Amino acid sequence: MGAAYSVDFSGGNIEVDVLPETPYCAPALCLRGDFGVIQLFAAPEHLAEVEYALRTYLDGIRYPESSEQQAILKSEINQSFEEEIA
């Protein structure tokens, strides 16, 4: 049996920390904001799964780029390739 908790903190400022593991409890992902404090205690491999899910989501977000920004990015990529080859 499980439980679901929902907290909307999209409109406010938050602080995010990972509290280290102690002899008495697992490490915790800690979210602080106007809503209060949420602590998610999890084994390190479970925190890694959370990190992977967040990174996958964020990597999928593409922000509109101007043609000038795209040209700068291409130039930087080409320069890094040339430096690796040299």
Per-residue pLDDT of the chain (86 residues; tens, 9 = 90+): 688 888 888 888 999 999 999 999 999 999 999 888 999 999 999 999 999 999 888 877 766 666 777 777 778 777 777 776 76
pTM over 0.75: no
Tens-digit pLDDT profile for residues 18-39: 999 999 999 999 999 988 899 9
Gap between the Cα atoms of 57 and 50, Å rounded = 11
The whole-number pLDDT of residue 42 equals 95
For the chain, domain boundaries:
14-85
